[in-house]
Amino acid sequence: MPDFVKKEGEAGGDFRSDNRFLLGFFEEKDGALHYRYDAERVIIEPWGPDSLRVRASKMPEMPQECWALSEEPKPSRSCVEISEYSAKISNGRICAEVNNIGKITFFNAKGEVLLEEYVRNREDMFAKTTSSLEVEAREFKPIIGGDYQLTARFESNPDEKLYGMGQYQQKFLNVKGAELELAHRNSQASVPFVLSSLGYGFLWNNPAVGRVSFNKNITTWQVQSSKKLDYWITAGDTPAEIEEAYADVTGKVPMMPEYGMGFWQCKLRYQTQEELLEIAREYKKRNIPLDVIVVDFFHWPKQGDWRFDPTYWPDPDAMIAELKEMGIELMVSVWPMVDYKSENFAEMKAKGLLTRVEKGVRIDNTYMGNTIQFDPTNPEAREYVWGKIKKNYYDKGVKIFWLDEAEPEYTVYDFENYRYHLGPNCQIGNIYPVMYAKAFFDGMKAEGQENIVNLLRCAWAGSQKYGALVWSGDIHSTFESLQNQFAAGLNMGIAGIPWWTTDIGGFFGANIYDKEYHEVFARWFEYGAFCPVMRLHGYRMPYQPQYGTTGGAECVSGAPNEIWSYGDEIYEICKEYIKIRENMRPYIRTLMQAAHEKGSPIMRPLFYDFPEDPVCWEREAEFMFGPDVLVAPVMEKGQRKKEVYLPAGAEWTCIWSGERYAGGQLVTVDAPLAQLPVFTRDDFVIEI
């Protein structure tokens, strides 16, 4: 070995004495491979079996935030080898090789390339062709007076399929070829984990605002401001192995409580205590199972008061007690906004518990008042808000919360204009919904509650471990929107968020007397019975007469949105699917257990359970609800037949006809308005 190559345990590096090549320095330290060249430091280390974490920075010291990688990784054994012009680190089924200019390539156990950085540099002596482009794989572009704009580039395999990345309002399940914003908006949740058909999973472990482009020629991750590059990659033989490895390092959901497995009733919005109780009593009278009913927004006097308005909710203790007697849990909506006129605003501002703006007036939302968000990245703010929630809701018996506006929502999405306790929004803003969920999870946990679930409108990687049930936001009440939710729900599950739901019927744009909408509603309700949580919600027309003129009563209320609000035909369909949901409760319980113990998505693409069937990687019109139920939603107007692919390796039974089919074939089945095509695997049975 030449004397300029580092030996194990000693500092040093590689260089050529003739200076024809500029080479970086390699070092093995504590089982990790370190590389440096000029100001850049790179660390590649084992992070759980078959997995590696890669960090790079030009800061004086490597920033230590773990962000989504907050769970202690399972033990793993790695091996670092350093040669004359390269080095590699192996950990189980994954290996990373770093060449003379710092380019990283990842291989699986067969020696096949999983992923490699995109470099076009004349100094890469091992490149197949030299290039004068001078494009770096890891580009830290200085922000004058600040940190760095970060770009990471990878070679693209045009035949690769990619899934996950969270929730985007588009109908593409395979996101290869898509450009996605790494930012949250109402109905958009950026959860930057992607699962590849090549056999790897990749987490972009950086909460900064930016974009990712999965192009045919190059994959590019870019963020506006950052101190470091940080990502995690794992190799696996099946999607389930990859998903479970990801859950091991980012966390798993708690066990879903029993009331999370049935039917939830909600609308925008019950205006009074008595109105809500009358609806609950009516469900009970009709003998229709109901697990949760919801008090929506503006039941408070002012945003940021975090309490019931006594004018319209005079005795919440008695209301909650009556609901519990009926076996119904109450979920209460909470917003992070604090109105300038709120009773808590002055104190919160004085204590530094609110988010800030870089320029202009300190207002980030103007819906129903001038408001600013509370800052959940500040531990003191989390404790303060939970203190209000505990006193005014939790101690009264509310054990499940609807954490709305969790992106948070801005009136104007100038991401660079907002600043949090942990830093500027453009650098750490995507962590907001995680910390929002954590504020409530920690508070409820401290009270001794187990099996915590709270409904949020947004998530980032790791949200799941704080009991986050994510719904798809304020979406339109159309078939086109339903198609978007189909893709969103499946990609959220792959992105590590197994608890997901959607407003059955869509949120806005529908009139309850519109016969054409009734078809949309029926198909959505049928689909909703096979989502992880079955929740009816919406802002329907025509508006209800306003009840009261003070406090939250200034906010309007939509039309009735109970299952009997759409006529007899739709009512009978809804009753049938609530019954099916109830009959599946023991099965759903097993799915929730698997999500809790292994991180398994509850609803997932066909390839998750049948990775060896190539057709399952192509089908984007049906999904698996757990391992034994195949669902083919009807998402087109007037459709009364549906072509369904039944995966190879199993036999399938139509739950309506009882007809049995061999797997590995396309079948066309009847789909009358009351029948969603559903098939069970082998000998599994759903009672109808």
Q: What one-character-per-residue DSSP string does 217-265 give?
A: SEEEEEEEEESEEEEEEEE-SSHHHHHHHHHHHH----PPPGGGSSEEE
pLDDT band at 129 (very low <50, low <70, confident <90, very high): low
List Cβ neighbours of 396 (8 Å cut-off, separation of 6 or more). Answer: 316, 317, 320
pLDDT band at 121 (very low <50, low <70, confident <90, very high): confident
User: Mean pLDDT over residues 232-254, rounded?
Assistant: 98
How are beta strands 200-204 and 189-196 bridged, if at all? antiparallel
Q: How far apart are CA 37 and CA 26, in angstroms?
A: 9
For 422-449, give the DSSP string: TEEHHHHGGGHHHHHHHHHHHHHHHTT-
Residue identified by tokens 């309850």 is 512
Q: Are 352 and 361 in contact (CB under 8 A)?
A: no
What six digits make up the tokens of 514? Answer: 């519109």
- CA-based angle 584:589:595, to the nearest 5? 125
Phi and psi angles of residue 572, each rounded to the nearest 5 degrees, phi first: -65, -40
Phi and psi angles of residue 416, each rounded to the nearest 5 degrees, phi first: -75, -5
Q: What is the largest CA-CA distance in the chain?
A: 89
Residue identified by tokens 């790494």 is 182
Q: Is the pLDDT of residue 13 over 60?
A: no
**How do the domains of the chain map onto residue ranges?**
25-250, 258-335+397-405+430-598, 605-681
Q: Is the pLDDT of residue 39 over 60?
A: yes
Q: Are 172 and 251 in contact (CB under 8 A)?
A: no
What six digits make up the tokens of 639? Answer: 């459709």
What six digits make up the tokens of 55? Answer: 């960090």
Give me the active site residues, please.
404, 407, 474
Q: Is the pLDDT of residue 249 over 80?
A: yes
Long-range contacts of 272-280 (CB under 8 A, 24+ apart): 272/312, 272/313, 272/547, 273/312, 273/313, 273/314, 273/315, 273/316, 273/319, 275/547, 276/319, 277/319, 277/322, 277/323, 279/562, 280/322, 280/323, 280/326, 280/328
List Cβ neighbours of 137 (8 Å cut-off, separation of 6 or more). Answer: 102, 103, 104, 117, 118, 119, 152, 153, 154
Q: How far apart are CA 474 and CA 480, in angstroms?
A: 14
Q: How far apart are CA 495 and CA 204, in angstroms?
A: 11
The superfamily (CATH) of domain 25-250 is glycosyl hydrolase (family 31) (2.60.40.1760)
pLDDT score at 645: 98
pLDDT over 90 percentage in the chain: 94
Q: Is the pLDDT of residue 10 over 60?
A: no
Q: Is the pLDDT of residue 503 over 80?
A: yes
* Chain center to CA of 559: 30
Q: What is the pLDDT of residues 63-96, one digit of tens each?
A: 999 999 999 999 998 999 999 889 999 999 999 9
User: Mean pLDDT over residues 158-184, rounded?
Assistant: 98
Q: What is the pLDDT of residues 345-396, one digit of tens each?
A: 999 999 999 999 999 999 999 999 999 999 999 999 999 999 999 999 999 9
User: Mean pLDDT over residues 159-172, rounded?
Assistant: 98
What six digits make up the tokens of 623? Answer: 């999904």
pLDDT band at 222 (very low <50, low <70, confident <90, very high): very high
Q: Is the pLDDT of residue 140 over 60?
A: yes
pLDDT score at 126: 61
**CA nearest neighbour of 35 among 98, 124, 93:** 98
pLDDT band at 44 (very low <50, low <70, confident <90, very high): very high
Residues of 30-67 as b/e, b for ≥16 C-beta within 10 angstroms? eebbbbbeeebbbbbbbbbbbbbbbbbbbeeeeeebeb
Q: Are 22 and 41 in contact (CB under 8 A)?
A: no
pLDDT score at 419: 98
Q: Are 228 and 161 in contact (CB under 8 A)?
A: no
Q: Is the pLDDT of residue 20 over 60?
A: no
Q: What is the pLDDT of residues 572-619, one digit of tens each?
A: 999 999 999 999 999 999 999 999 999 999 999 999 999 999 999 999
Q: Are 55 and 47 in contact (CB under 8 A)?
A: no
Which residue did the predictor score with more confidence, 15 or 665?
Answer: 665
Q: Are 78 and 95 in contact (CB under 8 A)?
A: no
pLDDT score at 22: 53
pLDDT over 70 percentage in the chain: 96
pLDDT score at 6: 37
SS3 586: helix
According to CATH, the topology of domain 258-335+397-405+430-598 is TIM Barrel (3.20.20)
Q: Are 402 and 454 in contact (CB under 8 A)?
A: yes
User: Mean pLDDT over residues 536-552, rounded?
Assistant: 95
Q: CATH topology of 25-250 equal to that of 605-681? A: yes
Q: Is the pLDDT of residue 3 over 80?
A: no
Q: How far apart are CA 629 and CA 672, in angstroms?
A: 20
SS3 509: strand
* Chain center to CA of 459: 5
Q: How far apart are CA 549 and CA 686, in angstroms?
A: 49
Other beta carbons less than 10 A from residue 134's beta carbon? 10
Which residue did the predictor score with more confidence, 443 or 3?
Answer: 443
The side-by-side arrangement of strands in the sheet containing 162-167 is 25-29, 32-37, 40-46, 51-57, 228-235, 200-204, 189-196, 162-167
User: Mean pLDDT over residues 16-44, rounded?
Assistant: 83
Q: What is the pLDDT of residues 260-293, one digit of tens each?
A: 999 999 999 999 999 999 999 999 999 999 999 9
Q: How far apart are CA 640 and CA 336, in angstroms?
A: 44
pLDDT score at 154: 98
How are beta strands 292-295 and 356-357 bridged, if at all? unpaired
Q: How far apart are CA 558 and CA 468, in angstroms?
A: 27
Q: How far apart are CA 282 and CA 263, in angstroms?
A: 15
Phi and psi angles of residue 389, each rounded to the nearest 5 degrees, phi first: -65, -45
**CA nearest neighbour of 502 among 523, 522, 540, 473:** 473
Q: How far apart are CA 113 and CA 459, in angstroms?
A: 31
Other beta carbons less than 10 A from residue 130's beta carbon? 11
- Report the amino acid identity of residue 181: E
What six digits make up the tokens of 441? Answer: 């999870």
Q: How far apart are CA 51 and CA 34, in angstroms?
A: 16
Q: Is the pLDDT of residue 548 over 90?
A: yes
Other beta carbons less than 10 A from residue 287's beta carbon? 7
As a CATH number, domain 605-681 is 2.60.40.1180
